[in-house]
Amino acid sequence: MKTALGLLWLGFCLPAAHADWEAVHDGLENLELRALVAYADTVMAGTADGIFRSQDGSSWTDISGNLAMRDVQGLWGGGAPRVLWVATFDGVYQTVNHDHYDNNTGSGLGTADAHYYWFGDTSEEATECAVGTNGAGLYVGADWGGPWTARNNGLTGDALVVNNMSGYSDDDFDGAYLCTEGGLFLSTDNLASWSSLNRNLSGDQLHVNAVLGFGTVEMIATDAGFLYSLEGADWAPLVEDDGVFNVFALYPMQGIGLAFGTNGYVTFDNFSYIPVDMGGVSGGLVTCATVTSTHIYVGTETGGVFRTPIDAVSVGEQAPRPEGFRLAQNTPNPFNPVTRIPYELAHPARIRLQVHDLLGRRVALLDQGLREGGRHQLNFDGSGLASGIYFYSLEVDHEIRATRRMLLSK
């Protein structure tokens, strides 16, 4: 196991990334931030007292319109610049113009206390809409306004407090994940029933706030750590931090991923999470975040919106390394089944480039021998391997100098 532990340590322990946070909450200083949504470079904020919009963070406009309940618990956007889905303490609402909000609470909803309102298709037959409630579980409907039908088979107790949802579909997997106060649950039958994915989770780890699932790999943000599981195995830390994680999201267009709560982390490869300097951010825990083409925005629990240029944290992607070589991130990542792995040598050197699985077992030797200085690139074909996380390492002159992670998702 010595090799496996060494690879995991190299994968998880990365230097902190510097960030220049700027307060951009003029008019929102005393409002609890519950949600941030970006469309292009416009940012919408859901707060304890209404919904606000900003073009660049310098000023905020109240766009709550006729919203009957201003105490917003969740906000989702998509499809068009002014389309928003809103979950509140008193029902769910939708707007297409940031002025008039339709009350879509409709019939059949067991409680008006909504934490979640959105979803989208996971298959051609999938239900399009879902409402997650505070204690009455999940309700689904074929239309944004219902009528709503409870879909709680397999959910009891704290699992009826829904925090979030996510779906994933490919040729081999079609399912939905449900984040609850009683753990993480999976449905593979169009939300008709739920099975527990809680294995070794306990205590505040069962308070799941966000999830990203690839079918065989799941990552969750919880009240007690940022965790991952591979093909039904027990959960393990994705970062060595057992604080609260409220936010976890990937932004493929910007090539960045975020995890925030007590502390902050950023990733540029989906798996190597780098601590972010949160100096300059005040207002308690980060409760929400979003990304525009130029900036990362975060909101906090006791009031405040802060932003930092994406470029200001991207320097953290490059960990310190001895001069003379560079191991780059594979592309694409995730991949199926072939990906490219580039590396550079400043001078001729004897190298070995190999791939290991999570247990430290070598699954491929990609290159070995004396190589000239310059840029090199090799293809890795994972056709014969199972989906999951793999490590590739570059050994230069008989010493491992760099290790990176990649995800094979079939």
Co-location of 371 and 265 in the same domain: no
Provide the pLDDT for residue 180: 98
The rounded Cα 287 to chain-centroid distance in angstroms is 13
Co-location of 37 and 165 in the same domain: yes
Provide the pLDDT for residue 227: 93
Provide the pLDDT for residue 15: 56
Residue 113 makes CB contacts below 8 A (sequence gap 6+) with: 89, 90, 133, 134, 135, 136
Co-location of 177 and 235 in the same domain: yes
Residue 202 makes CB contacts below 8 A (sequence gap 6+) with: none
Question: Residue 64 pLDDT > 90, yes or no?
Answer: yes
Residue 5 is assigned to a structural domain of this protein: no
Highest mean pLDDT among 85-99, 208-222, 325-339, 392-406: 85-99
Which backbone phi and psi does 204 adopt, to 5 degrees? Answer: -70, -10
Co-location of 159 and 248 in the same domain: yes
Provide the pLDDT for residue 10: 33
Residue 7 is assigned to a structural domain of this protein: no
Co-location of 298 and 332 in the same domain: no
Residue pair 117/46 in contact (Cβ under 8 Å)? The answer is no
Residue 225 is assigned to a structural domain of this protein: yes
- Helix (H) or strand (E) run with residue 95 in it: strand 91-95
Q: What are 61's two structure tokens?
A: 């406009």
Supply the range of the domain harboring residue 65. Answer: 16-317
Measured distance CA(289)–CA(293) in Å, rounded: 14
- What are the DSSP E strand ranges found in 231-361? 236-237, 245-251, 256-261, 264-267, 273-275, 286-291, 295-300, 305-309, 325-327, 338-345, 349-356
Co-location of 167 and 213 in the same domain: yes
Residue 107 is assigned to a structural domain of this protein: yes
Co-location of 343 and 282 in the same domain: no
Question: Residue 204 pLDDT > 90, yes or no?
Answer: yes
Per-residue pLDDT band for 7 (boundaries 50, 70, 90) equals very low
55: left (phi over 0), alpha (psi -120 to 50) or beta: alpha
Question: Residue 11 pLDDT > 90, yes or no?
Answer: no
Measured distance CA(236)–CA(246) in Å, rounded: 18
CATH number (domain holding residue 393) = 2.60.40.10
Residue 46 is assigned to a structural domain of this protein: yes
Q: Span 70-95, mean pLDDT? A: 91
Which percentage of the chain shows pLDDT scores above 90?
A: 52
Number of domains observed in the structure of the chain: 2
Provide the pLDDT for residue 12: 43
Measured distance CA(172)–CA(181) in Å, rounded: 29
Question: Residue 401 pLDDT > 80, yes or no?
Answer: no
> Which of 268, 300, 317 is the last residue in one of the domains?
317
* Integer CA distances (angstroms), 188 to 177, 219, 284, in order: 9, 18, 37
> Which of 289, 317, 345 is the last residue in one of the domains?
317
Co-location of 333 and 312 in the same domain: no
Per-residue pLDDT band for 5 (boundaries 50, 70, 90) equals very low
Q: Span 68-87, mean pLDDT? A: 90
Measured distance CA(337)–CA(382) in Å, rounded: 5
Which residue, among 359, 365, 366, 357, has the nearest Cα to 389 in the 3D structure? Answer: 357
Q: Which residues, in sequence order, are bridge partners of residue 409?
A: none
ω into 334 cis (within 30 of 0): yes
Residue 10 is assigned to a structural domain of this protein: no
What's the chain's average pLDDT? 85
The pLDDT tens digits of the residues spanning 279-321 come to: 999 999 999 999 998 999 999 998 789 999 988 775 444 443 4
Provide the pLDDT for residue 127: 55
Q: For residue 316, how many other CB atoms are within 10 A of its CB?
A: 21
Residue 272 is assigned to a structural domain of this protein: yes
Calculate Rg over the CA atoms of the chain. 22
Provide the pLDDT for residue 318: 43
Co-location of 150 and 21 in the same domain: yes
Provide the pLDDT for residue 361: 79
Q: Span 152-171, mean pLDDT? A: 91
Co-location of 373 and 393 in the same domain: yes
Residue 11 is assigned to a structural domain of this protein: no
Question: Residue 322 pLDDT > 70, yes or no?
Answer: no
Residue 296 makes CB contacts below 8 A (sequence gap 6+) with: 19, 256, 258, 266, 289, 290, 307, 308, 309, 310, 313
Measured distance CA(376)–CA(384) in Å, rounded: 24
Co-location of 233 and 252 in the same domain: yes
Co-location of 163 and 255 in the same domain: yes
> Which of 317, 338, 365 is the last residue in one of the domains?
317
